[in-house]
């Protein structure tokens, strides 16, 4: 459908080397977008698959644990593609420990990557989008944007912050032609959740809670990203779209 056509658009996707990031990059490419894949690890497989679809794709090395990487990344993408129409902030990390034992080092590492760098990447790309009068920003939130979780205090704080920032940026930039929204994935079958899937007890508990009766696939997140990146979502602002098989409805 024309509403979902991304032909001629350029999407910067962070953490695109595997899992959800790869699923989003491929879905955007299938809809017509060219892909700038950014992250610490080269997204070689993703880039090859995007090119096989007939789209342009390039790797951009960026250590997104530091804000220092933000402006050089944006400059490099603009230098290569000339524009950024879509930003997907997918890169993120997690640290696990009981709250009483959680270290400052683990707190800072997660907040820096998941929240601080995300904001300043939104800011840098947002300036470009505001100047052009259009753009789509998609932040990757979490079920823990809505729930507390356990043993992941910095992750919960970061993803709650992502939800708040998404709304704030939408408030400030909607009238400037920039849509800012977020996707909150549920339990998605990726290499990052392989241990949970292999744990018979935890896997059963998770499956019993999901009304859809299955783990999500990265392609499920990709479909939501295409919607939020396309003109079909032009009147959607500051929304956090749960793609969770009904997890939050339970």
Strands (E), the chain: 10-14, 34-39, 57-61, 86-89, 135-140, 178-185, 240-243
For residues 178 and 86, what is the distance between their CA atoms, to the nearest angstrom? 10
Question: What residues act catalytically?
Answer: 155
* CA contacts within 13 A on the Cβ side of 199: 9
How many CA atoms lie within 13 Å of 78's alpha carbon, on the beta-carbon side? 13
Name the residue among 134, 139, 137 with its Cα closest to residue 175. 134
As given in the structure block, the two tokens for residue 123 are 């800011």
Backbone angles phi, psi at 138, to 5 degrees: -125, 110
Rounded to an integer, what distance in angstroms lies between the CA atom of residue 159 and that of residue 6?
Answer: 28
> Distances in Å between the alpha carbon of 123 and those of 86, 130, 199, 200?
13, 10, 40, 43
Measured N-to-C along each axis, helices 19-30 and 44-52 cross at an angle, to the nearest 10 degrees, of 20
Q: How far is residue 233's CA from residue 224's CA, in Å, rounded to a whole number?
A: 10
Contacts of 114 (CB under 8 A, 6+ apart): 92, 93, 154, 155, 158, 159, 161, 162
Tokens 């009981």, residue located: 98
């Amino acid at each position: 459908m024309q509403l979902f056509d991304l032909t001629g658009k350029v999407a910067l996707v962070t953490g695109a080397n595997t899992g959800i990031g790869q699923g989003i990059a491929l879905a955007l490419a299938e809809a017509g977008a060219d892909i700038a894949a950014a992250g610490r690890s080269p997204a070689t497989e993703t880039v090859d698959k995007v090119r096989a679809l007939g789209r342009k794709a390039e790797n951009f090395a960026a250590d997104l644990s530091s804000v220092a990487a933000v402006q050089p990344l944006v400059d490099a993408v603009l230098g290569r593609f000339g524009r950024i129409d879509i930003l997907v902030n997918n890169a993120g990390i997690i640290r696990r420990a009981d709250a009483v034992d959680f270290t400052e080092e683990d707190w800072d590492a997660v907040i820096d990557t998941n929240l601080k760098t995300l904001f300043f990447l939104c800011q840098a790309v947002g300036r470009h989008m505001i100047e052009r009068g259009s753009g789509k920003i998609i932040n990757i939130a979490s079920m823990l944007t809505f729930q507390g979780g356990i043993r992941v205090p910095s992750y919960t704080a970061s993803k709650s912050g992502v939800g708040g920032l998404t709304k704030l940026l939408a408030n400030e930039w909607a009238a400037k032609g920039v849509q800012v929204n977020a996707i909150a994935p549920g339990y998605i079958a990726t290499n990052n959740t392989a241990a949970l899937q292999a744990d018979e007890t935890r896997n059963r508990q998770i499956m019993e809670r999901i009304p859809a009766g299955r783990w999500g696939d990265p392609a499920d997140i990709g479909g939501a990203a295409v919607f939020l990146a396309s003109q079909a979502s032009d009147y959607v602002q500051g929304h956090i779209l749960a793609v969770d098989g009904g997890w939050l409805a339970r």
